[in-house]
Amino acid sequence: MTLDDKPVVHIVGLGSIGALLAVDLLRFAHCSVVPLFRSKKRLEQFQKEAKSTVGVRKLFLENSPLFEQELQLGSSPETFNGTHINNLVVTTKTYQTKDSLQPYLPYIDNNTNLILIQNGLGVSDVLRNEVFTDIEKRPNLFQGVIAHGCFQDKDQIFRFNHTGAVDLKVARLPWDPEQIVQSYDSLSADVQENQLARLLTSQPFSKEFCVKFMTYQELLLGQLYKFIINACMNGLAATLDCENGEIAGRASGVFKLISEESLQVLKIEYEPFFNYEKRYSNMPNYPSLAISSVLNTAKLVEDVEYIACVLNAKSSCSMRQDILYLRDIEIDYINGYIVNLGEKYHIGTNANKMLKEMVNLKLHISRSRAATKGK
Ligand SMILES: NC(=O)c1ccc[n+]([C@@H]2O[C@H](COP(=O)([O-])OP(=O)(O)OC[C@H]3O[C@@H](n4cnc5c(N)ncnc54)[C@H](OP(=O)(O)O)[C@@H]3O)[C@@H](O)[C@H]2O)c1
Ligand SMILES: *[C@@H]1O[C@H](CO)[C@@H](O)[C@H](O)[C@H]1NC(C)=O
Ligand SMILES: *[C@@H]1O[C@H](CO)[C@@H](O)[C@H](O)[C@H]1NC(C)=O
Ligand SMILES: *[C@@H]1O[C@H](CO)[C@@H](O)[C@H](O)[C@H]1NC(C)=O
């Protein structure tokens, strides 16, 4: 493989985010895209019902144009031809990651680039401890934190609505959780030499999709910030079955409990990151980061109140939508992640535990009511 070959990107998880990425990669980057479906049945549905095309409507552009792309090379565990996977984008829900990778493990090795584009935290621990246990065969791992919004268009198979074009932050994810700090040199080495990093930062894709390739510590700042906001908001609004604005000005007590607990365990789990500001400020070759002024309870509570509840008052969080459609929820990778860290470090995380239990109960009630109604 040389860097000049046309890169092949396999995508496992052709849902909202996977489709969005597939369409824009084909529009704006030099590569081919191969979706990997969960089963032959799902692949055939894509081929027959959707004529192997995926479509994304850009709601924020004038006249909301629909961009369609044909993906002829789709595959499934039953039909996969056994080619080495060079670049793999994972856009399943967090809890689906392990199962979705299993059939393709023989084709993934240390020459594969694998990027996770998902919400929440904890998937990389699953990959380290349960999936890629053979250290020699571990792929180059990247994390994407996506702020674009995209949703399935009701009743239209493989057609999605892209609601908000924001950005995609990307960094190389270390296998060793202690190795958090990266220099600008290692960043530019990836952008020059790694096929996936080159593709994601190539023009015009990078500009059109607002890709920001950064050091892991820069990504973590954004990721942890977004994570705590989600930990405060998602489970609560889903349990209460409300739009964000309905609890504006009323929920800071809950937000405070959740953020305080979350920060307490995250500070231990990501210790080198929380010490970074002191150790690395003004060091050449390393970015300066304002960590303590962003990741503190007062600031986080203020931001959930203002950004989630006021600016996005009309929004309905994704977990509430998942429950509405009786789908599984990603709680184990949000508040559940904090609960796991609490157990690991013997620190109480009762607020997060309670919220996790409550939202699971909410899903249970919604499902049993729907089942009774259906009878
Ligand atoms: N949507 C957004 O706007 C948005 C924004 C920010 C972050 N995120 C995050 O991005 C991640 C993906 O979200 P999404 O909204 O794109 O989810 P989604 O629409 O549910 O897409 C997930 C896709 O994964 C597929 N999948 C599940 N198990 C599989 C398997 N074993 N093999 C192959 N494919 C499998 C599903 O296929 P089936 O249909 O066959 O189940 C589905 O197409 C989540 O972590 C989410 O929190 C989403
Ligand atoms: C296997 O499939 C990939 C696309 O998924 C294609 O690029 C490659 O040429 C195929 N290899 C063989 C031997 O058919
Ligand atoms: C991958 O592993 C093989 C064998 O373990 C080794 O020869 C090769 O140099 C490794 N490649 C990379 C890119 O690390
Ligand atoms: C997606 O956008 C189209 C065009 O604006 C609209 O007709 C459709 O209702 C939207 N779908 C959803 C689920 O919002």
Q: Note the pLDDT tens digit of each residue in 338-375.
A: 999 999 999 999 999 999 999 999 999 999 999 998 77
**Which ligand has its closest atom nearest to the C-alpha of 85?**
2
Into which CATH architecture does domain 8-214 fall? Answer: 3-Layer(aba) Sandwich (3.40)
CA atoms 44, 46, 49, 50: torsion sign: negative
**158 within 8 A of 53, measured Cβ to Cβ:** yes
CA 280 distance to own-chain centroid: 28
Q: Predicted confidence band at 109 (pLDDT cuts at 50, 70, 90)? A: very high
Alpha-carbon distances, residue 301 vs 120, 125, 228, 230, 337 (angstroms): 19, 28, 10, 12, 20
CA 318 distance to own-chain centroid: 13
Range with lowest mean pLDDT among 153-157, 185-189, 212-216, 354-358: 153-157
**359 within 8 A of 237, measured Cβ to Cβ:** no
226 is catalytic: yes
Q: How many C-beta neighbours within 10 Å does residue 50 have?
A: 19
Alpha-carbon distances, residue 67 vs 20, 27, 43, 70, 284 (angstroms): 10, 9, 21, 10, 44
Q: Predicted confidence band at 154 (pLDDT cuts at 50, 70, 90)? A: confident
Measured in angstroms, how far is the CA atom of residue 34 from the centroid of ligand 2?
10
- Asked whether residue 130 carries a pLDDT value surpassing 70, the answer given is yes
| pLDDT tens digit sequence for 30-77 | 999 999 999 999 999 999 999 999 999 999 999 999 999 999 999 999
Q: Which CATH code of 2.60.120.510, 1.10.3720.10, 3.10.150.10, 1.10.1040.10 fits the domain covering 219-374?
A: 1.10.1040.10
pTM for the whole structure: 0.96
| Phi, psi torsion values for 133, nearest 5 degrees | -80, -20
- Asked whether residue 115 carries a pLDDT value surpassing 80, the answer given is yes
- Asked whether residue 3 carries a pLDDT value surpassing 60, the answer given is no
| pLDDT tens digit sequence for 263-311 | 999 999 999 999 999 999 889 999 999 999 999 999 999 999 999 999 9
In one-letter notation, the amino acid at residue 118 is Q
Select which of 98, 137, 226, 256 is catalytic: 226
C-alpha to C-alpha distance for 241 and 290, rounded to whole angstroms: 35
Segment 93-121 shows an average pLDDT of: 97
Pocket test for ligand 4, best of 20, 57, 63 (most atoms within 8 A of CB): 57
Where along the chain do its domains lie?
8-214, 219-374
Measured in angstroms, how far is the CA atom of residue 141 from the centroid of ligand 3?
15
- Asked whether residue 2 carries a pLDDT value surpassing 90, the answer given is no
**For residue 77, which atom of ligand 1 is closest to its CA?**
32
Query: For residue 124, what are the contacts with CB-CB under 8 A and spacing of at least 6?
Result: 116, 141, 143, 173
Query: For residue 99, what are the contacts with CB-CB under 8 A and spacing of at least 6?
Result: none
Q: Is 219-374 the same fold as 8-214?
A: no
**Which ligand has its closest atom nearest to the C-alpha of 136?**
3
137's tokens: 């065969």
pLDDT of 4: 57
| pLDDT tens digit sequence for 174-202 | 999 999 999 999 999 999 999 999 999 99
C-alpha to C-alpha distance for 117 and 133, rounded to whole angstroms: 21
Mean of pLDDT over the chain = 96
- Asked whether residue 165 carries a pLDDT value surpassing 90, the answer given is no
